[in-house]
Structure 1
Amino acid sequence: MTLRKQVFAALILFFVLSFQNTIFSQNKGKYPALLWQISGNGLSKPSYLYGTMHVSNKLAFHLSDSFFVALKSADIIALETNPQEWLENMKEMGMFDAEQNYGAYNFFGGGGGGDFYTSAFKFSVPDNKEIGFVLASDPDLVNGLLYRSYEMLGNHEENTYLDLFIFQSAKKLDKQVTNLEDFKQSEKMVEEASIPDPDEEEEVQKYYKGMYENRYGLQEKIEDAYRKGDLDALDSLSRLTYPSKKYEKWMLHLRNEVMVRGMDSIMKKQILFTGVGAAHLPGEKGVIELLRKKGYKVRPVNFVVSKNSIKEKEKIEK
């Protein structure tokens, strides 16, 4: 191929990709993807942001080629909290006390069925008799920590929810893992969000009535939006699940600020792959816009599931 033909082919490819990106953005809204590339603001190489879903359902595991490329390119992986530190953090906060045990495993989604001993991977547990006793007497706590898995969902589930798949991937790829939130600080925010605001009492009552009547249909719509990578729809639907403005502030907006500060600090030194709940990404006070306000360029990355991405996933799960 002559040089002129090579240049012409390159130009054609450029315009095709540009056209695809234009169609991609026009048809999908403002937040059309789960995976986002972060560049600019002094970064020599891009970092990545991925919206996870805190369930074990298979819909969270339709991972693309670009997901694995981004994951492998990173020096460090950041999650909301570090699974390797969960148990020690819970111990320090007294969450293994008998009277608090029920609340502890429910905070992490426990209370369902499932079998911890068929786990797809392991991570080190602090060698402590107190922790060992609680784990031995309450496998639901372990199940809630690791899987958020329930027997009634049967074949519709994977072995682990997506955050822990990312954690497992990082370990197998010999990547450093860190947390964006301090466990104690995060727990305090959750507690503050759960305290009713007297000024919003009427709205909260309407919320609970509406949620009871529409809980199944709403969850299906949220899952469908996530499956499509439509964060605009996910944002609108997620807002319907917040009982009050105070809840939204403490559970979402303030935590977003904490996460972005952590990301900003890490990205100045290392290439970062961040996995946080998808609801944290969109919106004026979401992680994407907060990063842009700091001077970063944040753009969506196209999503294609292929045989290669399926093989990558299976390789990590072995």
Structure 2
Amino acid sequence: MKNILSVITIALLSIFTTNAQKLENSTLWKIEGNGLEKASYLFGTIHITCDATLDEDVKKALDETSQIVLEIDMDDPSMQSKMMQGMYMKDGKKLKDLVSESDYIAIDSLFKNNMGMSVKMLENVKPFFLTAMLYPKLIDCSMQSFEAELMKVAKEQGEEIKGLETIEDQLKVFDEIPYKAQAQDLARSAKDNLAYDKASFAKMLEVYKNEDITAMIEMMNDENFTSVSEHQDELLDKRNENWIPRIGEFAKVQSTFFGVGAGHLAGEKGVINLLRQAGYTVTAVIE
């Protein structure tokens, strides 16, 4: 169960995306001005990957900063228990209530084939978390994450990980998005045994490798992922807006390395543009 919860934690981060406006191809950005005594850095991560090796410019930025802030405080000892509490649907809802009988059979088969267990054991889990359990099956390698690498750096440097929001904030999003929309995505994945999802994720990994944060976001508007494409206000926009004053508070106290999903960076309502609107100078760090 602990491994499943770890996968879900990473997957929680992965789903959040937004609309895009073209920016330089870079996942590392420098934040200056607006009263900051020292520069801070904003790094766009991808939460599930085959290779989470940190580039030299990212390592340099980590050396130049004195604290690391991620989307959530991932070394919070109470995070696993909070995750357990937030996994389940409200009002006694079950997966069978959300999909047709044929779709349910397809989903059950998907879980038996990929997880070695029947979905009947997870009837009241939110459909998004059921999908999240399957994320490691989208790549043909051992799953790595940049968040894990950043946490290693924090430990080496004796720094405590901090968060822009709480795990409760993130879990709440999946009560705002209709369970039926979440279940629709899961049923679609089941019908071709994750084939479409694997192809889409392979493309995303390539786009991320090229540091094309605009293209990365644009492809996440895929209508085949209903719970993402139709609910980006909850998934991203509102959260980005909430983050801006918190980023400012952290950066004014000390030079900070912010690590958030690359899907948060670009777009009219992306973190880069919102920081610029708030008076900060945000520039791409390009090798």
TM-score exceeds 0.5: yes
> Deviation at 1:261?
2.5
C-alpha distance 91-269 of structure 1, shift in aligned 2 (>3 A): same
Letter of the 2:226 partner, please give it: P
* In 2: Cα distance, 1:105 partner to 1:84 partner: 26
**Are 1:276 and 2:260 matched, yes or no?**
yes
Greater Cα radius of gyration, structure 1 or 2 = 1
Q: Which residue does 1:119 correspond to in 2?
A: none
C-alpha distance 240-152 of structure 1, shift in aligned 2 (>3 A): closer
> Deviation at 1:224?
1.1
Q: Which residue does 1:312 correspond to in 2?
A: none
Q: Which residue does 1:64 correspond to in 2?
A: 55
Residue pair 2:128, 2:174 contacting (<8 A) in 1 also:
no
Secondary structure of the residue that 2:254 maps to in structure 1?
coil
Q: Which residue does 2:206 correspond to in 1?
A: 224
**In structure 2, which of residues 37, 43, 49 is the aligned counterpart of residue 50 of structure 1?**
43
* In 2: Cα distance, 1:235 partner to 1:285 partner: 12
Corresponding pairs, count: 226
> Deviation at 1:96?
8.9
- Structure number with the bigger relative contact order (C-alpha 8 A, sep ≥ 6) is 2
What is the TM-score with the length of structure 1 in the denominator? 0.61
> Deviation at 1:288?
0.6
C-alpha distance 44-214 of structure 1, shift in aligned 2 (>3 A): same
* In 1: Cα distance, 2:31 partner to 2:255 partner: 10
**Are 1:76 and 2:58 matched, yes or no?**
no
Residue pair 1:260, 1:291 contacting (<8 A) in 2 also:
yes
Structure 2 matches for 1:250-261, cutoff 5 A?
250-261=234-245
Give CA deviations for 1:149-190 in whole Å, capped at 9, x if unaligned.
56973xx336x4111110111111112310111211221123
> Deviation at 1:72?
1.3
Secondary structure of the residue that 2:220 maps to in structure 1?
helix
> Deviation at 1:109?
7.6
**Are 1:34 and 2:16 matched, yes or no?**
no
What is the percentage of aligned positions where both structures have the same residue? 27
Q: Which residue does 1:173 correspond to in 2?
A: 157
> Deviation at 1:110?
6.4
Residue pair 2:74, 2:161 contacting (<8 A) in 1 also:
no
C-alpha distance 286-98 of structure 1, shift in aligned 2 (>3 A): closer
* In 1: Cα distance, 2:220 partner to 2:71 partner: 18
Structure 2 matches for 1:178-257, cutoff 5 A?
178-195=162-179, 214-240=196-222, 242-243=225-226, 246-257=230-241
**RMSD, aligned α-carbons:** 3.5
* In 2: Cα distance, 1:195 partner to 1:53 partner: 25
Letter of the 1:31 partner, please give it: E
> Deviation at 1:246?
4.7
C-alpha distance 107-215 of structure 1, shift in aligned 2 (>3 A): closer
C-alpha distance 150-238 of structure 1, shift in aligned 2 (>3 A): closer
> Deviation at 1:222?
1.4
Residue pair 2:28, 2:41 contacting (<8 A) in 1 also:
yes
> Deviation at 1:39?
0.5
Q: Which residue does 1:294 correspond to in 2?
A: 278
What is the TM-score with the length of structure 2 in the denominator? 0.67
Q: Which residue does 1:311 correspond to in 2?
A: none
Give CA deviations for 1:268-310 in whole Å, capped at 9, x if unaligned.
111110101110111000111111111001111014xxxxxxx
* In 1: Cα distance, 2:67 partner to 2:148 partner: 15
Q: Which runs of 5+ in 1 are unaligned?
A: 1-28, 113-147, 198-203, 304-318
Letter of the 2:265 partner, please give it: L
* In 2: Cα distance, 1:97 partner to 1:240 partner: 25
* In 2: Cα distance, 1:190 partner to 1:53 partner: 20
